[in-house]
Amino acid sequence: MEIPAQTGDLPFGSASKKDGGLCWKYALAKDDKIFGLGETMRGINKRGYVFESVNTDQPNQDESTKSLYGSHNFFIVFGKKTFGVFIDYPGRVVFDLGFAKCDELCVQIERADVDIYFFTCSKKAGALKEIAREFRTLVGKSYIAPKWAFGFCQSRWGYASKDDIEKVWKTYRKLGFPLDSICMDIDYMEDYKDFTVDSKKFPNFKDFVQRLKKDGTRLVPIIDAGVKKEAGYSVYQEMIAGGYDCKKKDGATFEAGVWPGDSVFADFLNPKAREWFGKQYKALLDAGIEGFWNDMNEPALFYTKENLKKTFVQLEQFKSKALDVTGLFDFMRIANSVCNNKDDYKSFYHKVNKDDAGSFAATKPDKDGKVLVNHYDIHNLYGYNMTRGASQAFKALNPAGHTLLYSRSSYIGAHRYGGVWTGDNHAYWGDILLSLQQIVSLNLCGFLYTGSDIGGFNANTSRDLLLRWTAFALFTPLFRNHSARGTREQEYYQFENPKDFKSMVQLRYALIPYLYSEYLKAAKNDGLYARALAFDFSDDKRACAVNDQILIGNEIMVAPVYVQNAIGRYVYLPETMTMVEWKNGKIAAQKKLSKGDHFIEVPMESVVFFVRKGKKLPLAKAAPCVDKIDWTKLNFVGDPKASYELVDLSSF
């Protein structure tokens, strides 16, 4: 339901006006849990901390981080009363989920012009799944990635030439690894100019794309939101000539620095600009490219000249002072505030239809009925609209094709156009657990095609971390090993005994008929591919509190090891399950385990997963690429009496 700006009693909690905005409060019962909020830090149950929706380029995330790249303002309160809440607001929202007061949930929305939806279910059993489904009925069907996008993807920021990429491809093939794609990070472009390919570093690009594709390996280039400001560069020129750029209040083009240096930004909220930007993908589609990742689209702003100028003036004053500790900290705070500065976000505008702008209009309508909206007020919609534009363009430019698309920044609804990856994590053990927690929360918000940078993006990975991470990530739709420039190289062949990694990648391919079927079922039925145990075992108090085991599809439970030097872990089974151990490219053991607690030993080179009671799942023979998997020759694990329904896009 939608609440008008006035305050008063609501189906759950109450709302009041506060500081020009709206504050919704709900009294939490002792055992209430809160699931959702998509891409955020911390556990599956979000209770006990405070989160913010402000899409942020966040390379230094830790447990205290309140906002990441996306804003997903949907959560379910599960307990004494069970209901879902969706706060449809494009700007800053603060979610205090029992932080200031342990038993109070308080959502503070910056302005009162907001739609709040509540979702309920009359039955107790299955209420969590039903509420999640109702929410998706409102926000729309999830994007479906092509099947090959479930294959293994190798990526690294630093592959700078055809030779670099060829080396990755050849080495994996020589070692007999399955491989479906290699990402091309910013270095493939000419001076980081979107939609260009550096022909010196990538001669005969089209041939190269085709040669790899024949072998079953697709190239997946990155596209950044910031477009280099450079006279003669057609994308820049067209953007300015067409008036598709974000502008400042005085009508001048808004400029900020990102990877290419001084850059300009398409006004993705303007349908014409969105369409124009979408058309730019054509050059790469024509070269045979079938997948893209949209990046830096919060948008990340490293600096603006205006802000730099102000900052230099402020820093200059420190020169004449003898710096004490407080002064030094002030100095560093001011210097650090240059990136992604709130004042910069407040300094530019989008042009939208008067009726779409509502109370966000910052100007009177012009002769075409358009008004300006300040970027800050609708900040969280920027990446969403970049992804939306790309997706709409793919349908128009390549109607017969099926293009892979995932984005860093997003908002509720972007799940209709593409997937998301969880951004710049670290090679930290806790980030394996974090990725598990983010994946279920993202699924709840409709984003089914998700995954984390396996092995960690920032910091140096280690062999054991990469093995344990892979053993979990092989169950997630996006299965991509990605790392930052300057970190230890982490392609699987960089470590001793690559066959241990190969065995895990082979399991991924053996599982693809199952994983893709479950993914399609979730997309079709507005269901959840990955979910917390509470969704299927809501009467089991122990299961509802589990924070580090999840269900994948309807047949599997996974419980990854995410502690260094652990020889295994405790696993809680909410029902009898069959434990399956995969080792050396095949099933090494199967054992029925009763409901309850078990210590499960997991050797470093093994993957262990659990098949649920009365269920079985198919395993194919691993193949060099997804297209070569034979879906007709399958073995089954689990209960032989059970049945299993395979679903492919053709039968969709």
**Chain residues in the site for ligand GLC (CB under 6 A):** 157, 185-186, 222, 295, 408, 423-424
Q: How far apart are CA 121 and CA 559, in angstroms?
A: 30
Smallest distance, Å, CB 482 to ligand GLC?
A: 6
Smallest distance, Å, CB 488 to ligand GLC?
A: 15
Q: How far apart are CA 381 and CA 411, in angstroms?
A: 6
Smallest distance, Å, CB 523 to ligand GLC?
A: 25
If the CB atoms of residues 380 and 483 are measured against ligand GLC, the closer one turns out to be 483
If the CB atoms of residues 370 and 408 are measured against ligand GLC, the closer one turns out to be 408
If the CB atoms of residues 423 and 446 are measured against ligand GLC, the closer one turns out to be 423
- How many separate helices (H) and strands (E) can be counted in the chain? 15, 36
If the CB atoms of residues 98 and 477 are measured against ligand GLC, the closer one turns out to be 477
Q: How far apart are CA 16 and CA 39, in angstroms?
A: 27
If the CB atoms of residues 186 and 617 are measured against ligand GLC, the closer one turns out to be 186
Contacts of 366 (CB under 8 A, 6+ apart): none
If the CB atoms of residues 88 and 187 are measured against ligand GLC, the closer one turns out to be 187
Smallest distance, Å, CB 296 to ligand GLC?
A: 6
Q: How far apart are CA 76 and CA 44, in angstroms?
A: 11
If the CB atoms of residues 186 and 373 are measured against ligand GLC, the closer one turns out to be 186
CB distance 628 to 151 below 8 Å: no
Phi-psi region of 585 (alpha: psi -120 to 50; beta: other; left: phi over 0): left
Start-end of H helices in 140-204: 162-174
Other beta carbons within 10 angstroms of residue 647's beta carbon come to 16
Please report, for residues 11, 79, 193, 467, 631, the alpha-carbon distance to residue 84 in angstroms, rounded to integers and kept in the order given. 11, 12, 43, 37, 39
Structure tokens at 329: 């900290």
> Phi and psi dihedrals of 252, rounded to 5?
-75, 150
Smallest distance, Å, CB 567 to ligand GLC?
A: 33
Smallest distance, Å, CB 157 to ligand GLC?
A: 3
Q: How far apart are CA 185 and CA 295, in angstroms?
A: 10
Residue closest to ligand GLC (Cβ)? 157
Burial of 368 (0-12, 13-18, 19+ CB in 10 A): exposed
Smallest distance, Å, CB 423 to ligand GLC?
A: 5
Q: How far apart are CA 304 and CA 599, in angstroms?
A: 54
Smallest distance, Å, CB 229 to ligand GLC?
A: 18
The amino acid at 503: S
Smallest distance, Å, CB 494 to ligand GLC?
A: 18
Q: How far apart are CA 621 and CA 395, in angstroms?
A: 33
Output the DSSP codes for 288-344.
T--EEEEESTTT---B-HHHHHHHHHHHHHHHTSPP-HHHHHHHHHHHHTTTT-HHH
If the CB atoms of residues 424 and 518 are measured against ligand GLC, the closer one turns out to be 424
Q: How far apart are CA 560 and CA 431, in angstroms?
A: 12
If the CB atoms of residues 383 and 553 are measured against ligand GLC, the closer one turns out to be 383
Task: DSSP letter for 63, please.
Answer: T
DSSP H or E stretch at residue 14: strand 14-18
Other beta carbons within 10 angstroms of residue 488's beta carbon come to 15
Please report, for residues 42, 312, 326, 330, the alpha-carbon distance to residue 322 in angstroms, rounded to integers and kept in the order given. 41, 18, 11, 13
End-to-end CA distance of the chain: give it in Å, rounded: 32
If the CB atoms of residues 477 and 513 are measured against ligand GLC, the closer one turns out to be 477
Structure tokens at 445: 């918000």
If the CB atoms of residues 222 and 546 are measured against ligand GLC, the closer one turns out to be 222
Smallest distance, Å, CB 479 to ligand GLC?
A: 15
Smallest distance, Å, CB 236 to ligand GLC?
A: 19
Smallest distance, Å, CB 473 to ligand GLC?
A: 15
If the CB atoms of residues 270 and 487 are measured against ligand GLC, the closer one turns out to be 487
